[in-house]
Amino acid sequence: MNAETIVEKINSAIRDKIQEIALTAPRRVQLKVAREQLNAVLTYLKEQFGFTHVGTISGVDLGENFEVVYHMSNDIATVNVRILTPRSEPKIPSICAVIPGAILYERELQDMFGLVVENIPDPRPLLLADDWPAGQYPLRKDWHYERPAEIIPGGE
Amino acid sequence: MEFKVALGPQHPALHEPISLRMTLEGEIIRDADLKLGYNHRGIEKLAESRTFIQNLYLTERICGICSFSHQTCYTQGVEKLMELVPARRGLYIRTLICELERVHSHLLWLGVAGQEAGFESFFMYTWRDREVVMDILDWITGNRVHYSMNTFGGVRRDIDELQKKKILDTLGLLKTRTEYYLNIGASEPTFANRLAGVGKLSKEKAIALCAVGPTLRASGVPMDVRKDDPYAVYDEIPFEVATADSCDVLGRAVVRVKELLESYKIIEFLLKNLPEGPFKVKAPRKVKENEVYSRYEAPRGENVHYIKSNGSDKPERLKVRAPTLANYAATIAMLKNGFIADIPLIFAAIDPCICCAERLVQLDNPRSGESKVLSFSQLRAMANDRYKKINFKKKDSAWPF
């Protein structure tokens, strides 16, 4: 089996669940799905081709939308499964039921992009400080760091 | 009765401190929890405001031990975005440094494992040998830690015949010493007994929790990016993926020793087949709008960079996932139902980019809140004391070589 046969099989078996599919580079498959179909597609990939390993989950701020890319790998190829979620309602489904190892990446997405991961088993913040102000999401494009004014003890 | 124990979080000299909170029942860990981000530096945000060339040196500074892993992962990703075919000699030199880095990282790990197991002369021997590799790296790149060898289209410095000869000569020494370490394990049964059965991680769990690198391979899964998704010139090099089936810390040590021996073979192959020609080609400054998912087998496991470009000379997004983060979920599974005395060993076994367990607060009496602080060395002494009391003849774990 190789990446081409994976694309063919996905196209014939779950055509109704995916939006776009392309083979962009050797061993790299790009797959676009609706967010409602994400878990169904990942389950299919896991059961049919053994895509059990999620490399990481990348969030990208596209302005009006957030793009979330799930990098699924097995021993022959990597499938980049992407979903879009609007900035006004940034909700994504949790994939921990299918891939338990995704939990830290989902918590990271919640911290950095303010995405709401539905049904996440452990919603606590992962990376940001305990006293981090609410509603500040550092990896959004409209967030800029401003260094606080320096206060010298005793004036001057 | 249950106790809560906090391990960590800070050590000023380390770049990745984390906090572990454990629920204990007697000496047995029933639950463990992680808190990260004590030294989150915002490199992903910073990378968006730097050019691709500047990011070469930024990504290198993600890690102080596998610095070349991050830089190579980033470089080969950007080369794909630029649709640039790097010089073949450059790729060979790049792969050579990748393997030298793996050797020094694994020797470092063996030493740490020896120290955590209370076998401190082993630690001193492996670190002495690690210096030999560090000297080679210093000699061919000019630096001991941040080699700055990569550039888009190849590497920045060539290597000459004298350097080639010196590396080949030194390899003989390293091989002899690594084989000696194999025999140490066989002639020193306490070492094998201390590592065997500690930090169990079943094959199914390792796959489900997306573990990477030697942690995963020691659970019997032959996943290696160098074989599965070959980058640089790994598709031309004959080598074997090291695995073990014991699913414990001993297995992780075995995998790393086997990988050391494979790495020496790879280095020898690279130097003997080094092609002539230029070692770099000219690269464009701007990058077309595209995206790439770059994978790399770092000494600790699969390293991942996701780079998205927007047509300018700066990346739109750079996402980095270092192997240690991927192994944290598995570490929690390993700690559960283990002994408190095994924490340093289990934690060291994933080869984390941290040694944050600098201090340990032990709550003696949760009702009155009286607490006692143990230093890391005291904790290690406790662990060693405990294992001195065990009759190892009964356990009888065999060194697998």
Cβ B40–A127 below 8 Å, yes or no?
yes
| Cα of A56 to nearest chain B Cα, Å | 7
Cβ B40–A55 below 8 Å, yes or no?
no
Dump pLDDT digits (tens) for B278-294: 999 999 888 889 999 99
Least confident of A4-8, A40-44, B34-38, B242-246: B34-38
Q: What is the mean pLDDT of residues B158-181?
A: 92
Question: For A99, which residue in chain B has the nearest alpha carbon?
Answer: B208
Please tell me whether residues B248 and B298 are part of one structural domain: yes
Give A81's strand partners: A31, A70
| Cα of B192 to nearest chain A Cα, Å | 30
Predicted local distance difference test score (pLDDT) of residue B361: 40
Within-domain flag for B330: no
**Reported confidence tier of residue A64, pLDDT bands at 50, 70, 90:** very high
Please tell me whether residues B312 and B348 are part of one structural domain: no
Predicted local distance difference test score (pLDDT) of residue B386: 75
Last residue of a domain, one of B324, B356, B377: B324
For B11, list phi and psi in degrees, rounded to 5: -140, 120
Instruction: Report the number of distinct structural domains present in chain B.
Output: 2
Within-domain flag for B68: yes
Within-domain flag for B329: no
Q: Is B317 on the interface with A (CB under 8 A)?
A: yes
Q: How far apart are CA A70 and CA B294, in angstroms?
A: 14
Cβ B295–A58 below 8 Å, yes or no?
no
Reported pTM? 0.87
**Chain A CB contacts of B208 below 8 Å:** 52, 99-101
Q: Is B318 on the interface with A (CB under 8 A)?
A: no
Please tell me whether residues B353 and B318 are part of one structural domain: no
Please tell me whether residues B268 and B383 are part of one structural domain: no
Angstrom CA distances, B212 to A7, A57, B10, B216, B231, stand at 26, 15, 25, 5, 17
pLDDT at B16 over 60: no
Edge-first strand listing for the sheet containing A53-61: A18-25, A28-33, A78-86, A65-73, A53-61
**Of A25, A56, A104, which has the smallest distance from its Cβ to B304's Cβ?**
A56
Q: Is B40 on the interface with A (CB under 8 A)?
A: yes
Evaluate whether A11 touches A4 at the Cβ level (below 8 Å). no
Q: Which token pair is B353?
A: 């980019």
Q: What residues make up the domain containing B17?
A: 2-39+338-395
Of residues B42 and B304, which shows the higher confidence score? Answer: B304
pLDDT at B354 over 60: no
pLDDT at B131 over 70: yes
Q: Is B64 exposed, middle or buried (0-12, 13-18, 19+ CB in 10 A)?
A: middle
Please tell me whether residues B269 and B384 are part of one structural domain: no
Evaluate whether A71 touches A56 at the Cβ level (below 8 Å). yes
Predicted local distance difference test score (pLDDT) of residue B13: 33
**Of A28, A56, A127, which has the smallest distance from its Cβ to B319's Cβ?**
A56
Predicted local distance difference test score (pLDDT) of residue A98: 93
Query: Taking the CA of residue B67 as centre, how many other CA atoms within 13 Å lie in the half-sphere pointing to its CB?
Result: 18
Helical segments of chain A, H only: 3-13, 38-49, 103-113
Residue indicated by tokens 């949760």: B366
Q: Which token pair is A4?
A: 């081409």
Predicted local distance difference test score (pLDDT) of residue B1: 67
pLDDT at B102 over 90: yes
Q: How far apart are CA A120 and CA A103, in angstroms?
A: 8
| Cα of B156 to nearest chain A Cα, Å | 27
Predicted local distance difference test score (pLDDT) of residue B98: 93
Please tell me whether residues B10 and B67 are part of one structural domain: no
Please tell me whether residues B281 and B363 are part of one structural domain: no
Closest by Cα among B266, B185, B196 to B224: B266
Give B363's strand partners: B371
Please tell me whether residues B308 and B383 are part of one structural domain: no
Per-residue HEC secondary structure of chain A comes to CCHHHHHHHHHHHCHHHEEEEEEEECCEEEEEECHHHHHHHHHHHHHHHCCCEEEEEEEEECCCEEEEEEEEECCCCEEEEEEEEECCCCEEECCCCCCHHHHHHHHHHHHHHCCEEECCCCCCCCCCCCCCCCCCCCCCCCCCCCCCCCCCCCCC
Q: Domain A3-118's class? A: alpha beta
pLDDT at B188 over 70: yes
Question: For B305, which residue in chain A has the nearest alpha carbon?
Answer: A56
Predicted local distance difference test score (pLDDT) of residue B187: 74
Closest by Cα among B399, B337, B352, B336 to B113: B352
Please tell me whether residues B242 and B387 are part of one structural domain: no
**Of A78, A100, A128, which has the smallest distance from its Cβ to B208's Cβ?**
A100
Predicted local distance difference test score (pLDDT) of residue B394: 56
**Chain B CB contacts of A139 below 8 Å:** 44-45
Please tell me whether residues B343 and B305 are part of one structural domain: no
Please tell me whether residues B197 and B140 are part of one structural domain: yes
At a CB cut-off of 8 Å and minimum separation 6, what does A84 contact? A35, A62, A65, A66, A67, A68
Mean pLDDT score of chain B: 84
- Percent of chain B at pLDDT > 70 equals 88
Within-domain flag for B271: yes
Q: What is the mean pLDDT of residues A4-26?
A: 90
Predicted local distance difference test score (pLDDT) of residue B365: 47
Please tell me whether residues B34 and B148 are part of one structural domain: no
Instruction: Provide the ipTM.
Output: 0.92
* Local structure of residue B276 (DSSP, 8 states): P
Cβ A80–B302 below 8 Å, yes or no?
no
Q: Is A31 on the interface with B (CB under 8 A)?
A: no
Dump pLDDT digits (tens) for B61-89: 888 888 999 999 999 999 999 999 999 99
Closest by Cα among A69, A46, A45, A67 to A57: A69
Q: Is B229 on the interface with A (CB under 8 A)?
A: yes
Q: Is A80 on the interface with B (CB under 8 A)?
A: yes
- Let me know how many helices (H) and strands (E) chain A has, helices first: 3, 7
**Chain A CB contacts of B223 below 8 Å:** 53, 75
Q: How far apart are CA B22 and CA B20, in angstroms?
A: 6
Predicted local distance difference test score (pLDDT) of residue B358: 31
Q: How far apart are CA B142 and CA A83, in angstroms?
A: 45
At a CB cut-off of 8 Å and minimum separation 6, what does B6 contact? B19, B20, B21, B22, B360, B361
Cβ A105–B295 below 8 Å, yes or no?
no
Last residue of a domain, one of B269, B296, B324: B324
Last residue of a domain, one of B265, B298, B324: B324
pLDDT at B91 over 80: yes
Within-domain flag for B331: no
Q: How far apart are CA B369 and CA B4, in angstroms?
A: 11
Chain Cα centroid distance, residue B82:
29
Domain residue spans in chain A? Answer: 3-118
Predicted local distance difference test score (pLDDT) of residue B353: 58
For an interface test with A, give the residue of B38, B293, B297, B302 to mutate (most A CBs within 10 A). Answer: B293
